[in-house]
Amino acid sequence: LPMIYRLSAAKLTKGTCGASVDTIVARNLLMMVGRGMAAHASHALHVASTLLKTAQNKTSYKIKEPEKLMSIAAKLNLDASQGTESAAIEAASTAISDLVYDKSAMKFATSYFPVSTGKTLQGLGAIPGSVGSELLAEGHETSMGTMADPVSLILHAARLGVADMASLIISSEFQDVLFGIPAPVQSKIGLNVLDVNKVNVVIHGHVPLLSEKLVELSEDEELLKSAKASGASGINIVGCCCTGNEVLMRHGVPLAGSNLQQELVIATGLVEAFVADIQCIYPNVENVAAKFHTKIITTMKEARLPGALHIQFEEEHADKAAREILETAVANFQKRGKNTYLPKGEPKNLIAGFSVETCLGVLSKINPSDPLKPLIDNIASGNIYGAVLLAGCTSSKVTADASHVTIAKTLMKQNVLVIATGCAAQACARAGLLTPEASQYAGDRLKGVLGLLGETAGLGKPLPPVWHFGSCVDNGRVVILAGSLAEKLGVPVKDLPIAASAAEWMTEKAAAIGTGAVALGVTVHLGVTPPVIGSPAVVSLLTQKSEELFGGKFIVEVDPVKASQLLLEHIKEKRGKLGLAT
The bridge status of strand 199-204 relative to strand 273-276 is parallel
| Minimal distance, residue 328 CB to ligand NFS, in Å | 24
User: Given the complex with ligand NFS, which of 87 and 170 has the nearer CB atom?
Assistant: 170
Quick one: which of 425, 406, 360, 414 has its CA closest to 387? 414
User: Given the complex with ligand NFS, which of 87 and 266 has the nearer CB atom?
Assistant: 266
| Minimal distance, residue 140 CB to ligand NFS, in Å | 26
Q: Which alpha helices (DSSP H) does 297-382 contain, by range? A: 318-332, 356-366, 372-381
Phi first, then psi, for residue 499 (nearest 5°) are -160, 175
Using CB atoms, what's the residue nearest to ligand NFS? 422
| Minimal distance, residue 144 CB to ligand NFS, in Å | 29
User: Given the complex with ligand NFS, which of 104 and 529 has the nearer CB atom?
Assistant: 529
| Minimal distance, residue 77 CB to ligand NFS, in Å | 31
Quick one: which of 259, 269, 217 has its CA closest to 239? 259
Burial category of 252 from C-beta neighbours within 10 Å (exposed 0-12, middle 13-18, buried 19 and up): middle
Q: Tell me which DSSP letter residue 463 carries.
A: P
User: Given the complex with ligand NFS, which of 332 and 515 has the nearer CB atom?
Assistant: 515
Instruction: For residues 334 and 299, give the distance between their C-alpha atoms in angstroms, rounded to a whole number.
Output: 23
Instruction: For residues 431 and 423, give the distance between their C-alpha atoms in angstroms, rounded to a whole number.
Output: 13
| Minimal distance, residue 259 CB to ligand NFS, in Å | 4
| Minimal distance, residue 401 CB to ligand NFS, in Å | 12
**Contacting positions for ligand NFS (CB under 6 A):** 241-242, 258-259, 280, 392-393, 422-423, 472, 507, 509-510
Instruction: For residues 156 and 134, give the distance between their C-alpha atoms in angstroms, rounded to a whole number.
Output: 8
Give me the amino acid identity at 259.
N
| Minimal distance, residue 502 CB to ligand NFS, in Å | 8
CA–centroid distance for 12 within its chain: 38
| Minimal distance, residue 280 CB to ligand NFS, in Å | 3
User: Given the complex with ligand NFS, which of 281 and 446 has the nearer CB atom?
Assistant: 281
**3-class DSSP state for residue 62?**
coil
What is the dihedral angle through the alpha carbons of 147, 137, 158, 473, rounded to the nearest 10 degrees?
-150
User: Given the complex with ligand NFS, which of 43 and 575 has the nearer CB atom?
Assistant: 43
User: Given the complex with ligand NFS, which of 260 and 379 has the nearer CB atom?
Assistant: 260
Instruction: For residues 33 and 154, give the distance between their C-alpha atoms in angstroms, rounded to a whole number.
Output: 10
User: Given the complex with ligand NFS, which of 224 and 280 has the nearer CB atom?
Assistant: 280
